Chains A and B, each alone.
Chain A
Amino acid sequence: MIHSLFLINHSGDIFLEKHWKSVIGRSVCDYFFEAKEKAAEPEDVPPVLQTPHHYLISIYRDRLFFLSVIQTEAPPLFVIEFLHRVVETFQDYFGECSETVIKDNVVTVYELLEEMLDNGFPLATESNILKEMIRPPTILRTMVNTLTGTSNFEERLPSGQLSTIPWRRSGVKYTNNEAYFDVIEEIDAIVDKSGTTVCAEIQGVIEACVKLTGMPDLTLSFMNPRLLDDVSFHPCVRFKRWEAERVLSFIPPDGNFTLMSYHVNAQNLVAIPVYVKQNISFFESGSGGRLDLTAGPKQTMGKTVEGLVITVHMPKAVLSASLTATQGSYTYDPATKVLVWDIGRLNPQKLPNLRGSLSLQAGAPKPEDNPSINIALKIQQLAISGLKVNRLDMYGEKYKPFKGVKYVTKAGKFQRPACVAISHFST
C-alpha cells in the first residue's frame, strides 16, 4: 500500500525519507511542490494528488508535510489515518513533532517507521506495543546510554503483539494503581450577528490515564447515557456490551489513551457560556476605523470562565491597531493580520472591554468583509452537556485502584454570517 514516506518542512526541504518497497526518487515530490506553489496556504494543498506513475497522499501537521507515495489503488483515508498515527506516535515519543526533534532522534524515528509498516501495510501502530520494542528517549536514559554504551532498545522481545489484546502489554506493574478519566467537552456553535444561536452541538471525548497492574477489566457506566447521540470507541471497548447495556467494558491500554469520543445532539439546548459584543467599523473616507469589543458571561452555571482569549482576523488592509484594554493585554501582528486579546479570568461584575482605532493602508478601499472572531476559554468542573459518570468497576485483579473523574469543557467554534466568530471553551 504505502510505498514511501517523505517528510517535508515548511520551506519545502525534504529532511527525511523512508521506503518500504524499492526506492522511489525524490523527484516524485516535484508534483507536490507544484501543488504547494499554487496553494495560498499550506492547508490548501489538496491531500490527494496524482502524478504520471504514482499517487501522492499527504497530511499537513505541526508545520510539516507527511507525504506518502502509493502506486496502486488504496483507500485514501487508510493512508491519511495512518499518517496521522505516525505523527501521534512521534508526539507520544518525543513530546512534540517538529523537524528538530525528528532530526535529533532520526534512528528512533527510523526504527519506529520500520515497525509500523511491513511492505507498506500497517504492522504495529499501537503505542503500547511500539514502546515494548523501542523505548522512547528520556534525558536520564540518554545519559545512561552515553556512559554505559547501552542502547535504547529492548533486549527482551515484546509479547503484546502476539496476544489477543494487542493494545496492552503483559507484565504491567505499579506500586500505586490509579485510573483517571477526563470528560472533555467542546461546544461548536454558529451565532448570527444579533447573537442568536443558529446551531450548536457538543463534542466530547473521554481521555483516560490508566496505570493499573496486571490485566484489569474495567467497566465504566454513566448516569445519563441517553445524552450520547453518536459515539466512537478505542478498539478496546466491547461493542456488544455498549449496544446491550450502554456501559463501557474494556481492558485498558497502559497509560494515556482516548477511550471514547461522543456527540451530544444539537436538539438538546446548548448553553453558550459567554457572549462577545463587537463593533468594528471602517470610515467611508480616510484610512481608518474603530473597534469596540466587550465580553460577558452567559449561562456559566455558576462557574468562573478562565483563560479567555479573543482572536480577531482583520481584513488585509488593516495596517495597525491602537487600542486600550480594560483587562488583559492585546497584540496585533501586521503580517498575519491577527489581533489577539488575552483576557484571562472573566469577572462578571466588571466586563472587559477593548476599544480604539485601526489604521488602514493608504489608498486602500474600505474593507468589505467583516473580520472573523475566535474565542477560547476554559471553565473548570463543568461538563456543559451534563454528562455524568456513574461508577467505575474493576474485575480480574484483586487490588483496590485509586479512581478519579474530572470534567472539562473545551474548544468549539462560533460562526456568524456577516461576522465569523469561533470560540473555544474549557470547563
Chain B
Amino acid sequence: GVSGSLQHELCSADGSAARQGDEREEGLRETAMYGCGFSANDELKEMLESNKESLKLEAMKRIIGLIAKGKNASELFPAVVKNVANKNIELKKLVYVYLVRYAEEQQDLALLSISTFQRALKDPNQLIRASALRVLSSIRVPIIVPIMMLAIKESASDMSPYVRKTSAHAIQKLYSLDPEQREHLIEVIEKLLKDKSTLVAGSVVMAFEEVCPDRIDLIHKNYRKLCNLLVDVEEWGQVVIISMLTRYARTQFTSPWQEGVSFDENNEKAFYDSDSEEKRDETETKPYMMDPDHRLLLRNTKPLLQSRNTAVVMAVAQLYWHLAPTHEVSAVTKSLVRLLRSHREVQYVVLQNIATMSIQRKGMFEPYMKSFYVRSTDPTHIKTLKLEILTNLANEANISTILREFQTYVKSQDKAFAAATIQAIGRCATNISEVTDTCLNGLVLLLSNRDETVVAESVVVIKKLLQTQPTQHSEIIKHMAKLFDKITVAMARASILWLIGEYCERVPKIAPDVLRKMAKSFTSEEDIVKLQIVNLAAKLYLTNSKQTKLLTQYILNLGKYDQNYDIRDRTRFIRQLIVPNEKSGALSKYARRILLAPKPAPLLQSAFKDRDRYQLGTLSHSLNLKASGYQELSDWPAVAPDQSVRNVEVIEPCQFVYTLNLCVVSGSGSEESDEETSDESPKSSSQSGEGSSESETDQKKEKNKKNTDSKAKSKAVNRYAVDHLGVLRPPPPPTHTRCWMLSGLAVSEPLALTPGPEAGFMTSHPSSLQVTVQPFGPVKSHELLHHMSGKGLSARYHFPRQPFLYQPSMVQLQITLTNASDQPLEGIHLGEHSPASLTLHRFSPVERLEPQASVTVSMGIDFNDSTQAANFQLCTKEAEFSVSIQPAVGELLLPASLTQADFEKEQGKLLGMNETSATITMAEGHCSSAVLNKQVRSMANLGEVITGHNNTHRFAGRTVSSGALVLVTVEKREAADATITVNTDKSVMASMLLRDLKQALASA
C-alpha cells in the first residue's frame, strides 16, 4: 500500500514518462505488491540496476522529476553513478544532470565518475569533449581542482572553438570552487582572449569579468579585435562584451564631452551647482580629438541598436550614454522607445533608465513624450515610472499638455497612482514657476475630492508648495483649516496643523480655535498628529500666549503622560524651551528664533536624481543600491594613457610548432625492448592521438613510411598545434624542423622519435621549454616478483627514464623476466589491474621462456603524477601472481632543458603556494658540484640547467602525466649547509620530492 501510493506520486512527477512506461510498470507494480516495505527508492534502485536500458531510462526520468520538484533524491547516488558511462545518450545526459546536482553532497562517490569524463575529454568528437568538460567542471568537489585545472588548460587549446568556449565557462566554475586558482586561470583567460572565434569571445569576456575584471591590461591587445568581432558574436556575448568595453573605454580615452559645453543642458536650473559650471568655463578649451579606437567602439556598436534582443539594445544605449559625445547620445533614443513596446518587465527596466537619463537630457526624449503617456492597463510600477519621466520632461512649452494628461490620471481607480500624480503636479509647480499658481489652484480643487487618499496627498503637496511662497496664500490655509474636520488621513492632518502653526500669524483667529479642538481630541490622534499638535501649541504660545497659554499647558500635560516616548520627549523639550523657569533660562530666550525660524522650502525633485552614480543598465541602477560585484565606472582620465598599447603586431602566418624529440634507448637490454616497440601494432599507437581524426591519419601515414624503412626501426608520432581559427594546417616537411638532440651517455643504434609530453601546449610556450631527453644511467632495478613466490618466475623492473612511446603521459617501465625453474614457462602476460581507473599499456605476452633464460619487456603506466601503487597480476599459463609497483616520485618526471633565464622566469610564476624549501646539512662527500649533480639526478629524473655560478645548482623537469613544470634549486651556503627549493604547482609531489632530495643529499 505504502509503496503503491509512493509510486503513484512518482508517476505524477512525470506524467508523460509514466504514460510511456505503463507497460513496463505493470510488472513492477506486481513486484511492489509482493515485496512489502519496498520503498520507492528501492524500486528506482532496482530499475537502475536492471539490464534493460528502457527501465534505467524510466527510472532516471522519474528521478529528474523528483529533482525538479525539489525532492531529495541523493540516496540513489550510488545506483545512478554506475550508469555514467552508459552508451545511451539520453540516459547519460540525465545521469549528468543528476550528478551535477548531487556531487557536492556525495563527494566520495562522485569521484568514481571522474575517470569517465577524463576519458571523454580525449574523444575525437568535439561535442563529447565539450560536454565532458561541462559536467566535469560542474562537479563541485574540491579534490578534483587539479584535474579541472588541467582539463581547462587543455581544452583552452582545443582545435574546436566550441570546446574552447566551454573551457571559458569552466574557468568561472573553477574560480568559484577555488579562488586560489586565480592566477592560473588568468593565464588561461589571457590565452582565450586572443582567440579569434566569435563563439569564444563572449564567454571568455564573461570569465574575465568574473575572475579578473581589474586586469584591464589584458584587454589592450584584444580591444580592436573585440570591437570588430562584436556584430557576429551571439547576442548574450554581445551584452557582456559591450559592458566590459564601456568600462575599458572610460579608463583609456579622454572625455568627449567638450569643455565649456555643459553635459547638463538644463544647467540654469536651481538644482545644478552653477558655481562649478562657471569654473569649468574659465578653464582653457583645448581642441578635442577623439581617439580612433574610441570612435571604432562607437561605430561598431551602433548597428546593434537594431538587435531584437532588448538587453543588447540597452547595453549599446548605456555605452553611448557613458562614452559618446553629447550630441551623439540621442542616436539611442528611438531604440529605447522601441523597447517600451516589449514585455512589461522590459518596460520596467528601460523606463527606470530613461527616468535617469531624462533628468540630465530632457531633449533626448521630449519628442517622444507621448510614448510615456500612461495606459489604464499598465501595472502600477510602470505607471509611476512614466509619471516620473513625464514630470522630468515638463517645461514651459509642454506643461499645459502634461497637466491635462495628469488631470485624467488623478481620476484613476488606482489610488496609489493618483497620489503619485498629485506629487508629480507638485513637482511641476515648483520647477516651472509659470504654472505654480495654476497647479496650486488645481490641487485646492482636489481638496473637495471624494477620495480620501487624493485629498490627503493634495494637502501634503499644497503644504510643500505653500512653503515656497507663503505670503500670498492665507486664503488657502484658511480653506484647509475648514476642511480639517473632514480629513482623517494622519499625514494630511499633521500637514495642516504644521501649516497653521507655521503661518499662525496669518490666520490669527482660526489658529487658536484649531488648537482648542485638538486639545479635545489629542488622546485619540495618531502619533504623527500629536507631535504636530504639540508644535502648534508651542508656536501659538510664543505668538499669542494670551489666548493659548492654558490650552498649551493642558496639551503639554497630556503629552507628558503619552504612551509614546517620542511624544513625551518632545513635550518635555518644548516645555523647557517655551515656558521660562530658573533652570532653562538661557535657551528660552531664543525659543522664538528656534521655533519660528524661516524654514527653507523642501525641494521637490525626482527620485532618480542621483541614480546616475550607477552605470546605466546595471542591477545596481535598477535597485538604486550597490549590488555585490558591481564594477565602478571610472572617471575619464585627464590625460589619455598610452594609445600604442592597443597596437597589435602582424601575426606570423605559421603558428604551430612541430616537435620531434630524439629519444635514446639506454644500453641495458635494449635489443629486446626494441623488438617490442617496433612490433607494436599501429592500432595501439594511435591511442596516443588525442586530437582530431586528421591528426590520426597523419600519424598513420607517418607510420607507414617508417614501416617501409624498417632498418631504422624508428617511429615518429607527430603532433601539431592548430591555429585558433580551428583551421587545421598540414605540418611542414619534417626535414625542416626536425632538430636532433643527441646528448647523454650511451647512444646505441636504434632510435625512437617521440613527442614531448607537452607537444599539445607548444603554442603557448617558448620553444626553449621543450622537454628533451637526457638519459641518465645506470638505473636502479627493483624486485617485482621473487622466484620463490613466483613458482620459478622472477621479475625485476627499472625505470629507463625514457618517454613512453605509445602514450606520452605514461611512465616507461622495463621488466626483466627470468625463468629460475627447470621447466619452460609459457604465456607470460599481464592480468587484471587495480585501481580500475589506472591506465596502462601492457607488454606483449611472452610465448615461452626457457629455463634460466630471461627477457626484458617494456610497459607504460600512467601514474597520473601520484606515487600511488599500481597493482596488477603477472600471469603464466598455470598461475597468477599479484605484484605491485610503487614509483619513487623522481621517476614520475622527465628532464626539461631550460636556459637559466627561462628557469628564473618560470620560477617566478611558481611562487607562494607552489614553492617548498628546506635547509639541510649535506653529507661530507656531497659538497662538490659533480657529486651533488649526480645525487640529485639519480634520485629524480631531472635535467640540469647550466648556471653561471658555482654555488647554485638548478634542475628542471616536467611531470610525465600532466606535463607540469618541476624546478629544483640547490643553493650551497657556508660549510655544508644548503637550501633545497622545489617549485611546482603539484604540491604533493613537491613535498615528496623535497623529502627524497633531503635524504639523498644529507645522508652518506
Contact = CB atoms under 8 A, between A and B. Distances in A.
Q: Max chain B CB contacts within 10 Å: which of A123, A137, A233?
A: A123
B101 A158 contact: no
A406 interface: no
Contact of B627 (A73, A229, A370): A73
Interface stretch (B302-310, B675-683, B749-757, B978-986): B302-310
Contact of B408 (A75, A154, A418): A418
A119 B20 contact: no
A140 interface: no
Given A73-B620, A118-B134, A415-B376, A80 B306 contact: no
Interface string A211-247: 0000000000000000001111111000110110000
Contacts of A81: 309-311, 346
B381 A72 contact: no
B303 A243 contact: yes
Contacts of B16: 104-105, 107-108, 137, 142
A111 interface: yes
A255 interface: no
Contacts of A50: 623, 625
Given A14-B70, A162-B126, A230-B335, A119 B234 contact: no
A41 B380 CA distance: 9
B951 to A, nearest CB: 50
Nearest to B171: A119
Given A46-B348, A119-B169, A119-B173, A80 B310 contact: yes
A75 B307 contact: no
A84 B235 CA distance: 14
A51 B630 CA distance: 16
Contacts of B140: 22
B380 A44 contact: yes
Contact of B338 (A16, A41, A152, A230): A230
B619 A76 contact: yes
Q: Max chain B CB contacts within 10 Å: which of A77, A166, A365, A369?
A: A77
Interface stretch (B61-69, B219-227, B661-669): B61-69
Contacts of B193: none
Interface in A109-157: 109-111, 114, 118-119, 121-123, 125, 137, 142, 145-146, 149, 151-155, 157
B14 interface: yes
A107 B450 CA distance: 56
A164 B93 CA distance: 25
B814 interface: no
Interface string B85-104: 00011100110010001001
A306 interface: no
Interface string A27-47: 000000000000111011011
Interface string A286-329: 00000000000000000000000000010110000000000000
Contacts of A229: 334
B310 A413 contact: no
Contacts of B104: 22-23
A55 interface: yes
A18 interface: yes
Interface in B643-687: none
B54 interface: yes
A106 B64 contact: yes
Interface string B4-29: 00000000111111011111100000
Given A75-B315, A106-B64, A107-B94, A263 B20 contact: no
B407 interface: yes
Contact of B628 (A15, A73, A149, A198): A73
A44 B414 CA distance: 11
B97 A114 contact: yes
Nearest to A43: B379
B381 A44 contact: yes
B344 A60 contact: yes
A161 interface: yes
B510 to A, nearest CB: 30
A71 interface: yes
B311 to A, nearest CB: 4
Nearest to B243: A75
Interface string B500-528: 00000000000000000000000000000
Contact of B346 (A73, A80, A105, A119): A80
A71 B210 CA distance: 12
A348 interface: no
B19 A146 contact: yes
Given A81-B310, A232-B307, A235-B235, A73 B629 contact: yes
A199 interface: yes
A266 B381 CA distance: 26
Contacts of B61: 107
Interface string B591-630: 0000000000000000000000000011110110101111
A230 B332 CA distance: 11
B468 to A, nearest CB: 29
B23 A146 contact: yes
A107 B234 contact: no
A190 to B, nearest CB: 6
A162 B160 contact: yes
B343 A80 contact: yes
B308 A420 contact: no
A155 B173 CA distance: 28
B20 A146 contact: yes
Contacts of B70: 14, 17, 26
B448 to A, nearest CB: 12
Nearest to A153: B90
A59 interface: yes
Contact of A75 (B53, B94, B101, B311): B311
A361 interface: no
B737 interface: no
Interface in B378-417: 379-381, 404-405, 407-408, 411-414
A388 interface: no
A66 B21 CA distance: 30
A362 interface: no
A239 B303 contact: yes
Contact of A23 (B101, B408, B412): B101
B935 to A, nearest CB: 48
Q: Max chain B CB contacts within 10 Å: which of A21, A26, A151?
A: A151
Nearest to B407: A417
Nearest to A148: B54
Given A78-B239, A110-B68, A243-B303, A153 B89 contact: yes
A235 B379 contact: no
A121 B101 contact: no
Nearest to A42: B379
Given A14-B70, A50-B625, A73 B619 contact: yes
A368 B199 CA distance: 59
Contacts of B404: 417
A15 B311 contact: no
A231 to B, nearest CB: 6
Contacts of B413: 315-316, 369
A198 to B, nearest CB: 7
Contacts of A43: 344, 379
A365 B450 CA distance: 9
13 contacts: A19-B101, A48-B349, A59-B345, A72-B629, A73-B627, A75-B243, A78-B311, A110-B64, A121-B206, A152-B90, A162-B162, A233-B306, A243-B303
Pairs A-B, 5 closest by C-beta atoms: A72-B629, A153-B90, A149-B54, A417-B408, A47-B345
Given A21-B173, A47-B348, 4 more contacts: A40-B414, A155-B89, A232-B313, A417-B404
Interface of A: 1, 14-19, 21-23, 26, 39-41, 43-44, 46-48, 50, 55, 58-61, 70-78, 80-84, 103-111, 114, 118-119, 121-123, 125, 137, 142, 145-146, 149, 151-155, 157-158, 161-162, 164, 166, 188, 190, 198-199, 203, 229-235, 239-240, 242-243, 258, 261, 263, 266, 313, 315-316, 365, 368-370, 372, 413, 415, 417-418, 420, 422
